[in-house]
């Protein structure tokens, strides 16, 4: 563990590495961080499969990883303690400058311990600043804001299309009602004309019969 911490201290450009261990052994490494830094670690744990003689991801969710971060310059005060799955990401902000101890401990989620199982832990870490984090957050928010605006514009287009279709349906309905009303009145006029014509013909025929002394 000391050799691993020394190599990390002498090689600040290293951003990814992996190590092997057995059982639920707790492995730690040291990292010198300045105040206002943002540390992000991405890890994954693979267990040794004797059948294939290779390391592979766990087949179930019974494996979890305990992550601890301690400030060695302040009496080993713990600033991070979390439990996560066999792979994941953890992030923390440094409140003070100094050496930090970062520990990973794979264990069984049900029993809290593992047998003498060989495991391979891969860790990818990156260190940035609060300003960079805020910049990323702003960029993300701007991207989300742009997507929301685009979605709102599309919704407005759909609403305009719906209003246009509604107006066209209203115009078609009014036109149909007007045509139906005109057809009805035209039918009424035809009936009135037919009735008047029949009445006039009947009177004319009656007068004709009287003149001809038929009736």
Structural domain for 124, as ranges: 2-130
Residue 214 lies in a domain: no
Q: Best-predicted range by mean pLDDT among 25-29, 60-64, 109-113?
A: 25-29
Query: Between 122 and 50, where is the model more confident?
Result: 122
The candidate with the shortest Cα–Cα distance to 109, out of 18, 20, 26, 24, is 24
Pairwise CA distance, residues 112 & 110, whole Å:
6
Return the pLDDT at 137.
60
Residue 162 lies in a domain: no
Residue 155 lies in a domain: no
pTM: 0.52
Residue 168 lies in a domain: no
Query: Between 44 and 214, where is the model more confident?
Result: 44
pLDDT at 162 over 50: yes
Return the pLDDT at 12.
42
Residue 206 lies in a domain: no
CATH of the domain at 20: 2.60.120.680
Per the structure, how many domains does the chain have?
1
Residue 14 lies in a domain: yes
Q: How far apart are the first and last CA of the chain?
A: 138
């Amino acid at each position: 563990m000391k050799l691993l911490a020394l190599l990390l201290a002498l090689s600040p450009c290293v951003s990814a590495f992996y190590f092997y261990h057995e059982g639920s052994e707790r492995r730690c490494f040291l990292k010198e961080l300045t105040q206002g830094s943002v540390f992000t670690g991405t890890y994954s744990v693979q267990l040794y499969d004797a059948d294939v003689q290779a390391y592979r991801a766990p087949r179930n969710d019974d494996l979890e990883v305990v992550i601890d971060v301690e400030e060695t310059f302040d009496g080993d005060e713990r600033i991070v303690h979390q439990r996560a799955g066999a792979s994941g990401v953890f992030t923390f902000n440094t409140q003070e400058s100094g050496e930090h101890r970062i520990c990973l401990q794979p264990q069984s989620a049900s029993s809290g311990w593992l047998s003498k199982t060989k495991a391979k832990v891969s860790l990818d870490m990156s260190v940035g600043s609060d300003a960079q984090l805020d910049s990323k957050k702003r960029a993300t928010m701007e991207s989300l804001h742009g997507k929301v605006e685009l979605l709102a514009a599309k919704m407005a287009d759909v609403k305009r299309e719906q209003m246009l279709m509604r107006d066209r349906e209203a115009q078609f309905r009014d036109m149909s009602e007007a045509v139906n009303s005109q057809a009805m009145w035209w039918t009424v006029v035809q009936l009135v004309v037919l009735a008047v014509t029949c009445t006039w013909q009947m009177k004319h025929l009656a007068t004709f019969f009287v003149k001809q002394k038929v009736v």
